[in-house]
Structure 1
Amino acid sequence: MSKTRIVVIQMKEIVYTAIFVGLGILLILLLVLMFLPKGRHKTSQAQYVPGVYTHQITLGESSLNLEVVVDENHINNVSITNLSDSITTMNPLVEPALEDLTKQLKNNTSLEEIVISKDCKYTEMLLIQGVEEALENAVS
């Protein structure tokens, strides 16, 4: 035969247990929030003010208008608005350098991580500097 056991728990013990469990959960959440890396919160903030930003680049006697299109978190497009035939004749590497730069920036590569090709090193560096100066107005 089985013996039946009756356990009596007072209400005061249940309340104390619930309070200690609640405090334990609160302590664990507090510790997790305190020691999370701060970089995770940065991704939710907007990096740029959306819009189109321009910067003028001088090549010899000619000048180019570099146009940078950004949304909140990345660069969408980089283009030159007044690229004339005389500029492309005197500086034939402007268009390929701009295409390479735009392709890398559309793949969410930061300006510091852009790989500069050996063929048009100085032209790409000039365009990157122009993009950086145009983005100074876009930083929120």
Structure 2
Amino acid sequence: MSSKTKIVVLHMKEIIYTAVFAVLAIVLILLLVFMFLPKSKGAGIDEEKYVPGVYTSTVTLNNTALEVEVSVDESHINSVRFSNLDETVTTMFPLIQPAIEDIAEQVYDKQSLDDIQYSEDNPYTSQLIVNAIDEALKKAAVTK
């Protein structure tokens, strides 16, 4: 009688080992499938939109070239500023600094150029700045 018990115990160990290895194999297969499947566009909250870096675009005002500098990471616009704004330009165009600050704040909050509100004082200057930012963002966009 004791020999039958030993045979059953040995068979039970084999069944348990087989079940454990089968479960591990299934987990491994699922892990590999989820790792190597392409990610769907709606799966991630932050998709890659930009190649990280600093991109520039030029705005010409009264024969003076101003560079709009846009800093981005993979999915966010980090900053927008003029890189070579000097005193002569701010003297000739006193509303340009407040315009870039206002637009930069809106772009940073919305993370896009959609529905940017132009100030009533300088709508044309604001439009030039937005066009320059758009041009820099097109340079930064991920090509698929």
TM-score (norm 2): 0.66
Alpha-carbon distance in structure 1 between the residues aligned to 2:71 and 2:119: 23
Provide, for residues 5-46 of structure 1, a one-character-per-residue CA deviation record: whole Å limited to 9, x for no partner: xxxxxxxxxxxxxxxxxxxxxxxxxxxxxxxxx863474430
CA distance 1:47–1:62, change in 2 (3 Å): same
**Once superposed, what is the RMSD of the aligned Cα atoms?**
1.7
Residues 70 and 76 of structure 1 are in contact (CA less than 8 Å); yes or no, is this contact kept in structure 2?
yes
Match of 2:56 in 1: 54
- After TM superposition, where is structure 1 displaced by more than 2 Å over at least 4 residues in a row? 38-45
1:55-70 pair list within 5 angstroms:
55-70=57-72
CA 84–105 in structure 1, closer or farther in 2 if over 3 Å, else same: same
Task: Give the match for residue 92 of structure 1.
Answer: 94
The answer to whether the Cα contact below 8 Å between 1:52 and 1:69 also exists between their aligned partners in 2 is yes
Distance 2:109 2:41 in 1: 21
Sequence identity percentage:
42
The separation in 1 between residues aligned to 2:42 and 2:92, in whole angstroms, is: 47
Partner in structure 2 of residue 122 of structure 1? 124
Report the counterpart of residue 72 of structure 1 in structure 2. 74
Q: Alpha-carbon deviation of 1:133?
A: 0.6
Q: Which residue of 1 aligns with 2:47?
A: 45
- The aligned amino acid for 2:98 is P
Task: Answer 1 or 2: which has greater helix percent.
Answer: 2
Unaligned runs of 5+ residues in structure 1 are 1-37
* 5+ long unaligned stretches in structure 2: 1-39
1:103 is matched with 105
| Distance across 2 between alignment mates of 1:50 and 1:124 | 25
The 8 Å contact of residues 75 and 108 in structure 1, kept in 2 or not, is answered as no
Q: Secondary structure at the match of 2:42?
A: helix
Q: Distance in 2 between matches of 1:70 and 1:96?
A: 22
Tell me which residue corresponds to 2:24.
none
